[in-house]
Chain A
Amino acid sequence: MSQMSPASEKSRTSQMSRSGQKDRTALLDVRGLTTRFATERGPVTAVDGISFAMEPGEIIGIVGESGCGKSVMSQSIIRLLDYTDHVSYEGEVWLSGEELLRLSPSRMRKVRGNRVSMVFQDPLTSLDPLYPIGDQIAESLRQHRRLSRKEAQARALELLRMTGIPSPEQRIKEYPHQLSGGMQQRVMIAIALACEPQLLIADEPTTALDVTIQAQILELIVELNRRLGMGVLFITHDLGVVSEICTSVKVMYLGQIVEEMTTARLFANPLHPYTQGLIRSIPRLDGDRRRKLHVIEGTVPSLADRPEGCKFVTRCPYADAKCRSEEPPLETAEEGHRLKCWYYREIRSGAREATQYGE
């Protein structure tokens, strides 16, 4: 038996909604981040003016369907896309007072895997099949911390033990294919944590795992977050996972944050029609299983034809002419709860009825 718990109650109410002056104390302060890719048919905007701040020790969940820009946003933060052609960034990304988008490639290399690291969905494609896992964990320690081979191996062993891999002395010499999916993900976490980063970006780290293994990995991430006080940006499409580990949540749609709030409010009082649709379309373990599931009509439009005005307009049951022509601002509904919707007040009070798409 064990209990999971978020970083701290204090950070639940941290300044996630801060706007105005640049937040100097924040661990991460993203301001107007925009990522564009040049394609044959002209530029497409994958991330569109995202701003948020994050305190040390916070676990922020990023949710949304595939194609909503969750991964591109997180990869933009550590500039992994630099190695993709035709990418351009706008805005600022401040990591404890240092702006990352303007760093030279060599300075940026000193940040990646050191102060910020990342865990990906599929561990097998992120691990090198030709090296024992011990070497792969030691690599960043040798690179960033300048440890000797022996010191790095000793530390790698320690890290493996910390992630709860049984008989780490033996495992450290093994190759990725000799480990199960859950073990590989633990190795990825060990690599990510090797240099004790301030910020861990976890991109669907448990999606490919079974639920019993997922529970183990989530518990590990939460425990490390509490012990090391590192911030975690947790990207997932599983709202159940969000409910269990995140302090606050940002809902993304077509490259924008459309709603952000604390986790408790996400489920108690979602205001954006997209968030409401997402939550209602999940089959729940405690719901009436004979009822039809809620459906969000249509699909996420491709980046090449993002609608004018509100980006959710093509699928929104409440949309009207104003939504089609004017983009709503990200406005504060309550302390710590912001969203982009022209009509959330009317929707909440029931004054605005869902049209043809509604139930």
Chain B
Amino acid sequence: MANEPEARKPLLEVKALSKKFPVYGSFGRLFGAKQYVHAVTDVSFTLYEGETYGLVGESGSGKSTTGRTILGLTPVTSGEVRYRGQDLAKLPPKQLRKLRRELQMVFQDPYSSLNPRKRIGRILEEALVIHRIDDRQRRQQAVFRILQIVGLQPEHYFRYPHEFSGGQRQRLGLARALILQPRIVVCDEPVSALDVSIQSQILNMLRELQGELGLTLLFITHDISVVRYISDRIGIMYLGRIVEEAPTDALFANPQHPYTKALFSAVPRISERGLKERTVLKGEIPSPLSPPSGCVFHTRCPLATDRCRSEAPAWRETKPQHHTACHYA
């Protein structure tokens, strides 16, 4: 879990990252883009060595796009992604490829990212082959080692992806990311498709491995309870922007942004008494094609004023280490 604040070293710095996707008209690219989907707008945060940073938001908030853009799976529109001092967005492809080894990703649905016609051994080894690491024999040893690390058996080496259960497949997805000995793993909803009993196995394992291997995790999820369990710090995203960021305990003890409050309040809670008062947000997340003026949350915010409609709130430190983008926090 978290290092002490003084000892923290930034490993990855995301600065003013934006990603726009063009939308073309009926003539395709002929007349240029008609409008843009503003998927990620001006997102900045820092990953410190050894920590888990949770990125939380509803669907359409841009959390997955942020993760994918950081890894260069989709090019950035503007902004910087600095990994150990180098801007990944400006790195020539050859050098980027070398660095990719250190930045890996785990996806929500591992089945669609495992080739059904290859045996597990081949699939896991492939990453090593691509990066030209070791000879054949040592690669095979590495695969057996990683299978053991993620809690699978040596005989699984010869199996095909369809022979595994959902939880085991997620272990495979993790094994494939970890076999390259990365420093940063971006986990995009890694437990969302799993039953609670399996989810807890994977979460426990992630936390253990992080300690053993010294990993830094960017954990993307919509599940508030899961992110609380796994993260040291959390950023809350809404409509492509981070609206609040704080250490986990501080955030849950004292959420500042009205969206964070509403989001936490919407989570169904287990209590022996059952029912509770809650803020139910009206309406839905607006279209990222034309985000609202001023504060993007003003269309659903119970506290919105004229100022919110016209003026975008500044990102400011409302408590030590606790940042919020709201005029009234």
Knowing A210-B222, A290-B1, the reply to whether A264 touches B274 (Cβ < 8 A) is yes
Contact present for B275 and A267 (CB under 8 Å): no
Contact present for B275 and A3 (CB under 8 Å): yes
Contact present for A264 and B273 (CB under 8 Å): yes
Knowing A263-B274, A267-B272, the reply to whether A213 touches B284 (Cβ < 8 A) is yes
Q: How far is the CB of B276 from chain A (nearest CB, A)?
A: 8
Contact present for A289 and B229 (CB under 8 Å): yes
Q: How far is the CB of A6 from chain B (nearest CB, A)?
A: 7
Annotate B162-201 by CB proximity to A: 1 below 8 A, 0 otherwise: 0001010000000000000000000000000001111111
Knowing A6-B274, A283-B225, A290-B1, the reply to whether A65 touches B197 (Cβ < 8 A) is yes
Give every chain A residue within 8 A of B200 (Cβ-Cβ). Answer: 281-283, 293-296
Return the chain B residue nearest A166 by Cβ. B283
Give every chain B residue within 8 A of A237 (Cβ-Cβ). Answer: 195-196
Knowing A267-B270, A278-B197, A289-B248, the reply to whether A215 touches B278 (Cβ < 8 A) is yes
Tell which of B20-28, B91-99, B261-269, B319-327 binds the partner: B261-269
Q: How far is the CB of B288 from chain A (nearest CB, A)?
A: 13
Contact present for A214 and B262 (CB under 8 Å): no
Q: How far is the CB of A288 from chain B (nearest CB, A)?
A: 10
* Interface residues in A20-70 (C-beta closer than 8 Å to B): 65-66
Number of interface residues of B (CB under 8 A): 45
Return the chain A residue nearest B203 by Cβ. A293
**Which of A180, A213, A243 lies in contact with B270, CB distance below 8 A?**
A243
**Which of B197, B283, B284 lies in contact with A296, CB distance below 8 A?**
B197
Contact present for B268 and A243 (CB under 8 Å): yes
**Which of B228, B266, B276, B285 lies in contact with A289, CB distance below 8 A?**
B228
CA distance A239 to B268 in the complex (A): 8
Decide yes or no whether B86 CB sits under 8 A from chain A: no
CA distance A66 to B248 in the complex (A): 31
Decide yes or no whether B318 CB sits under 8 A from chain A: no
CA distance A216 to B207 in the complex (A): 34
**Which of B204, B272, B273 lies in contact with A295, CB distance below 8 A?**
B204
Contact present for A214 and B266 (CB under 8 Å): yes
CA distance A157 to B260 in the complex (A): 34
Contact present for A3 and B277 (CB under 8 Å): yes
Decide yes or no whether B58 CB sits under 8 A from chain A: yes
Number of interface residues of A (CB under 8 A): 50
Decide yes or no whether B213 CB sits under 8 A from chain A: no
Knowing A212-B281, A240-B269, A290-B1, the reply to whether A281 touches B197 (Cβ < 8 A) is yes
Q: How far is the CB of A223 from chain B (nearest CB, A)?
A: 11
Decide yes or no whether A4 CB sits under 8 A from chain B: yes
Give every chain A residue within 8 A of B283 (Cβ-Cβ). Answer: 166
Q: How far is the CB of A32 from chain B (nearest CB, A)?
A: 27
B interface with A by C-beta (< 8 Å): 1, 58-59, 165, 167, 195-201, 203-204, 207, 222, 224-226, 228-229, 248, 252, 262-264, 266-281, 283-285
A interface with B by C-beta (< 8 Å): 1-6, 65-66, 166, 180-183, 210-216, 218-219, 237-241, 243-244, 263-264, 267-268, 277-279, 281-286, 289-290, 292-296, 299
A-B residue pairs in contact (CB < 8 Å), sample of 18: A2-B278, A4-B276, A66-B195, A180-B284, A181-B59, A210-B285, A211-B58, A212-B266, A219-B280, A240-B269, A243-B271, A244-B268, A244-B275, A277-B197, A282-B200, A284-B225, A285-B228, A293-B229
